[in-house]
Amino acid sequence: MNVPMEQGILLAAILFCLGLTGLLVHRNIIYMLMSVEVMLNAAGLAFIVAGSAWGEADGQVMFIFILAMAAAEVSVGLALIIQMFKKFRSVDINKASTMNG
């Protein structure tokens, strides 16, 4: 197994950019949240790739922290989506811009 590290990082970068594209394109807040998950996952992958290249466990530890953060973020984010849907009867993020800042 001798895949160079750059290729692993490249995979992470591509996934990150795809997630970013999804975040910018969609107005549906569920899509946006999923895109954010992709981006977080890509960032975690980058850590693991780096850790793997050095043969150290630190990268995996970081991934676990990112996982914990993602779990917390998703639970709060989804609760917010539910509240928003109750209030605006829609998941369109532009409808929520009446809050102005």
Partner 1 sequence: MKELLWLIVALPFSGALILALAGRKLSRLTCSIIGVGTVSLSAGLTILAGLDFMGNNPTGKPYLQVLWRWIDVGGLSPDIAFHLDAVSLTFIFVITFVGALIHLYSAQFMWKEDGFSRFFTYMNLFIGFMLVLVLADNLLLLYLGWEGVGLCSYLLIGFWYKNPDNGYAARKAFIVTRVGDTALAIGLFILFMTFHSLNIREILNAAPGTWGIGSGIAVAVALLLLGGAVGKSAQLPLQTWLPDAMAGPSPVSALIHAATMVTAGVYLIARTHVLFELAPIVQTTVAVIGAATLLIAGFSALNQHDIKRVLAYSTISQIGYMFLALGVGAWSAAIFHFMIHAFFKALLFLGAGAVIWVLNDEHNMFKMGGLRKKLPVVFWTFLIASGSLAALPLITAGYFSKDKIIWLAYVGDKGSVVLWLAALIGAFITALYTFRMVFLTFFGTTKAEPSARPGTGMVIPMLILAFFSFAAGYIELPENMGHVVLFSGFIEKTLPATATIHLGNSTELVFQLIAGLAAISGLFVAYKYYFNKPYPAAVPERNALQNFFFNGWDFDFVYDKMIVTPIVFLSRIDKDDFVDLFYKGLASLARALNIVLSASQNGRVRWYAMVIAIGAILTLTLIFYP
Partner 2 sequence: MNILFYIAATAAIVSTLMMVISKNVVHSLLFLIVSLFSVSVVMFIIGAPFVAALEVIIYAGAIMVLFVFVIMMLNLSDEEKRKKRLMKSKIWIGPSAISLILLAEMVYVLTAQPGYAMGQEVVLPVAVGELMFTKYIVVVELAAFLLIAGIIGAYHLGQKEKTVHHRYLKNKNQEL
Q: Does 93 bind partner 2 (CB under 8 A)?
A: no
87 counts as binding partner 1 under rule CB under 8 A: no
Instruction: Say which entry of partner 1, partner 2, none residue 41 contacts (CB below 5 to 8 A, set by partner kind).
Output: partner 2
- Both tokens of 98, joined, read 């009446």
3-state secondary structure of 28: strand
Q: 26, 43 in Cβ contact below 8 A?
A: no
DSSP 8-state assignment for residue 99 = G
For position 9 contacting partner 1 by CB under 8 A, the verdict is no
Query: Is 26 in a helix, a strand, or coil?
Result: coil
Number of residues that bind partner 1 (CB under 8 A): 13
Binding of partner 2 by 20 (CB under 8 A): yes
Should residue 97 be labelled a site residue for partner 1 when binding is judged by CB under 8 A?
yes
Per partner kind, with CB cut-offs from 5 to 8 A, the member of partner 2, partner 1, none near residue 39 is: none
Distance of alpha carbon 44 from alpha carbon 38, whole angstroms: 10
End-to-end CA separation in angstroms for the chain: 50
- Enumerate binding residues for partner 1 (CB under 8 A): 20, 23-24, 27, 32, 93-94, 96-101
